[in-house]
Structure 1
Amino acid sequence: MSLEELRAFYLRYVELANDREFDHMDEFAHDEVIVNGTLIARDDMVAEFRRHTDAVPDLSWEIQDLLVDGDRVAARLIDTGTPVAEWNGLAPTGATVSFAETAFYQIQDGRFKVMWYMMDVDALRRQLAG
């Protein structure tokens, strides 16, 4: 994939997540993906997305920075939503939260093979603590 194709690929991936089109994840991720150093099935990755969006139905990802280099993509995102159920061990308070996420990906044969992401959980805790 060219750099522009990888950029468009990632933009479609974030759009898929924001539209809750998780059943199309096979277009973006291999059957098995290394996520934060652990090999997991794509179905488990989809289940994790669903866990997040069940707890935070209006969760959205907004790309702030997107870098593409060779077969790698790096993104800085702002995640925003209002938890309605316990999420990441935190009880909902009715507050809308907004926090940073940094993600790195390696693409192999046109799909994600390796994914690393970090969320600013401390900011999330502070906002839910009120």
Structure 2
Amino acid sequence: MSDTQVHLHEVYHRYIEAINNRELDRMHEFAHDQLTFNGEPVSRDDYVAAIQGHLAAVEDFVWRLDDLVIEGDRVAARLTDTGTPVTEWLGLQPTGKAVEFTEYAFYHFRDGRFEDMWYLLDTRAVQSQLGA
């Protein structure tokens, strides 16, 4: 791996660790002040609020990194997400059932932090598991 790939590999692993440890105050280490999130310009605070929304609805949410591909300043990740919704989430009511589903996330990094992020959740799997 190139030095850039090694660096982004380390950064991404720390990012997932920070989210799983609920250390959202560390997001300045990973994301620029202004970024593009699923095609929309947002502040880092807005991005953190989106994560907090998931965590409020699924308090035991865990992201497990399964695959990480780095090419230049771009990162692609396949994750397995798990948790048990406790409030309405993704338009679905909680049932007490845990869910496990795939998430795909793509990033463009500049100066060691991402400035663009796109993600896609397998909501069909979530709906199926919650009985919707």
Structure 2 length-normalised TM: 0.96
1:48 corresponds in structure 2 to 50
CA distance in 1, matches of 2:93, 2:28: 32
Count of residues in Structure 1 that have an aligned counterpart in Structure 2: 130
Q: Give the Å deviation of 1:92.
A: 0.3
1:65 corresponds in structure 2 to 67
Q: Give the Å deviation of 1:107.
A: 0.2
CA distance in 2, matches of 1:14, 1:45: 15
Task: Describe the superposition over 1:64-90 as per-residue Cα deviations: whole angstroms up to 9, x where unpaired.
Answer: 100111001000000000000000110
2:119 corresponds in structure 1 to 117
2:10 to 8, 23, 30: 8
Q: Which consecutive unaligned segments of at least 5 residues does structure 2 have?
A: none
What secondary structure, in the 3-state scheme, does the structure 2 residue paired with 1:129 have? coil
CA distance in 1, matches of 2:9, 2:35: 20
CA distance in 2, matches of 1:110, 1:64: 22
- Greater than 2 Å deviation, 4+ residue runs: none
1:28 to 23, 27, 30: 30
Q: Give the Å deviation of 1:56.
A: 0.5
Q: Give the Å deviation of 1:110.
A: 1.2
- Alignment RMSD (CA, Å): 0.9
Q: Which consecutive unaligned segments of at least 5 residues does structure 1 have?
A: none
What secondary structure, in the 3-state scheme, does the structure 1 residue paired with 2:25 have? helix
